Amino acid sequence: MIQEMRENKGDCMGCMEALKTFITDDYIAVRPLYANKMTVRNLVELIMTTNNENILKTSVEGRRFTVAKVSSARKQDNSYFRNLKEHCRTQSFIDNFATYLMNVDVREGSIKALATEALADMAEAPQDSIKAYCSDIANSTRKEIKSDPYFVVSEDCIMIARKCAYESYKE
């Protein structure tokens, strides 16, 4: 279990702050079932809560999320992504990226998440459709993850936070 959260009388800001750490912190504390708590590298792949009316507080003006609409053309194309990852580690890519970063305007308020069409679609989507999507994910993965101590699943509140803690544990 990563962390239990409780919402007080409709005020979900405490939960949002706790979830924020799972997105931004480099290391988090986890406690596998029936084991002592340990600190591991934060490799969270998915966080989902379904007992809140507004699952992800998103807006077109939001700064926390960049939502991309991608095609499935490269889905499961491991060699493509392996080559892309290798390219991102080449000196020419690093030099070009460093040059880009040196020219970015970093004055306060100048850096914002990309206002994509997909973000607007997500922000404007009815909450019922988002709840249905989350429910589909939870129900399709429930059988697979019940035995995995790095997932938390309960009937009234589903929080799925996939951890690659095994890799950190091996280190």
> For 26-72, how does the pLDDT look when each residue is reduced to its tens digit (9 = 90+)?
888 777 777 788 888 877 666 655 555 555 566 667 666 677 777 88
CA 38 – CA 69 distance, rounded (Å): 36
DSSP conformation class of 8: B
> Is the residue at 6 inside a domain?
no
Which tokens sit at 10? Answer: 């409709």
Q: Is residue 46 one of the residues assigned to a domain? A: yes
Residue 4 lies in a domain: no
Q: How many domains does the chain have?
A: 1
Is residue 64 in some structural domain? yes
Say if 102 falls within a structural domain.
Answer: yes
Specify the residue for token string 């029936």: 34
Residues 6+ apart with CB under 8 A from 47: 19, 22, 23, 159, 160, 161
Domain presence at residue 135: yes
Q: Report if residue 5 sits inside a domain.
A: no
**1 located within any domain:** no
Q: Is the pLDDT score of 22 beyond 70?
A: yes
Kindly report the number of other CB atoms within 10 A of residue 97's CB atom: 11
- Give φ, ψ of 56 to 5 degrees: -125, 120
Is pTM beyond 0.75 here? no
Domain that holds residue 112: 13-170
Higher-confidence residue: 156 or 140? 140
